[in-house]
Structure 1
Amino acid sequence: MANLVDVTSEQQFADCVSGAGNRLVVVHFHASWAPQCGQMNDVMAELAKEHVHTSFLKVEAEAVPEVSERYEVSSVPTFLLFRAGQQLERLDGAHAAELTRKVQRLAGSGGSGGGSSEGPGGSDLDQRLKKLINAAPCMLFMKGAPQEPRCGFSRQIVALLKEHNIQFSSFDILSDDEVRQGLKTFSNWPTYPQLYVNGELIGGLDIVKELAESGELENTCPKAQTLDHRLKTIINRSPVMLFMKGNKETARCGFSRQILEVLNATQVDYDTFDILEDEEVRQGLKTFSNWPTYPQLYVKGELIGGLDIVKELKESGELVSVLRGES
């Protein structure tokens, strides 16, 4: 039996709440005309997937007025949480993170969602997520890319950011299920898109809309930085900087794997940037450096070249001195 139910009558509501036994019951009082309720319905749907032993009820407040009046529901969205027929908690407003916290706490260990970063490899995932979140001052996790959003919410948030001249980078969560599931738990925010500024979660579409309407969006997001300035900053992040597909631990193409082997053999320290995780950098660096392929190796901010040039330097015995900036 589905654990996400549309309730259309007072009797059905009573049956669902009293008949759930010791199961947690989460009730969303909503209205079809309120856009914030639509987003919170998506939150409910995600929570229902993760907490299969919890019942989630959707009640159109104006369609079942007896229930709304009994629980003094005067605005939407409103959430009530029950167990054994007794009301435990109440939440007024579209606060996805707070609702998620309440459900996780009252439902127990968090159901069978599988998105947790606990256990083997969890800390590695957390580190990867932190790196992604901080990949740009303004970072949007969305479905698709800014040029081709793949859901309505992503399309709307991209349009808002562009309208207000906010410079941002993005990550397509449809391209990586580990990131897609892990970020929900990491940020305690169960839906997408998600906008981060300077490593901190701002929220989803509704919050960005509120910031835009109040005139606070430009102040919340950092001042626009030109792409050239951003590329120079990344290039100079380390004396030896390699732009590749993947990272030091896991190369994601043959050319990147080969250049890692060559560099590792020199025992000269270097850093890497995964161009697969930032489309703006991936495309922009080609023009900036006038070098159309990857990997690309930089030393002290200057382009050395790709795999073939690095191989030539190795064969001539010059590679170590070039990496150390001696020649």
Structure 2
Amino acid sequence: MAALAEVGSAGHFRELLQQKGKSLVVVHFWAPWAPQCIQMNDVMAELAKEHSQVTFVKLEAEAVPEVSEKYEISSVPTFLFFKNSQKIDRLDGAHAPELTKKVQRHASSSTISAGRNDNAKEDLNVRLKKLTNAAPCMVFIKGSPQEPRCGFSRQMVEILNKHNIMFSSFDIFSDEEVRQGLKTYSNWPTYPQLYVAGELIGGLDIVKELEASGELDTICPKAHKLEDKYDALYLYFSSVL
């Protein structure tokens, strides 16, 4: 089995990202007490045999907390992908097929020129504009409304539901490009983020302030109650009969 590089400090981690000659670095944030992490280390070792040009690293998440906090590692296993010291992708969970697919894709991709990079940024902004306008009220959270993956996202969903606000959501863990790009696009560095008619309202603190002042009910569209639909149908049939 091919050996994996092991990082034991934040300084060692920085040095590893800055090394020359290997453009792609895959880092496994793991814990020795988690069986799924042990299994994924074996998967990483197999991938290292196939991709000699890629650096595969394991980093014990709890042993180097400053690195784990910087990259918002909230569970193990989590995999981060770096090129030229920049994080380009992320995978949460023990998904060997998805990890293999991501490694193959990033390892085979050529270096993007400056001109193409500008086009990529422009394309991302177009996509982010479409996402923020995908519904009258859009919330970008960690996880889903049914299963939020952080306390702040859970509170945001609870407030919106409490006020019977009609909203759609996007799981930022499902797309690393959106997760990082939206921070720059909206100039708002944290999640959750609430948008109405494509305009950023703010994060959880702002929404709580709007709730306390009563403005939230005037800003966000309300869901139609079932009885309202019945009333509308009654009025319609009354008019045509």
Q: Could you say which TM-score interval applies, normalised by the shorter chain?
A: 0.3 to 0.5
Structure having greater relative contact order (Cα 8 Å, sep ≥ 6): 2
Question: If the length of structure 2 is used for normalisation, what is the TM-score?
Answer: 0.48
Question: If the length of structure 1 is used for normalisation, what is the TM-score?
Answer: 0.36
Mark the structure with the bigger radius of gyration. 1
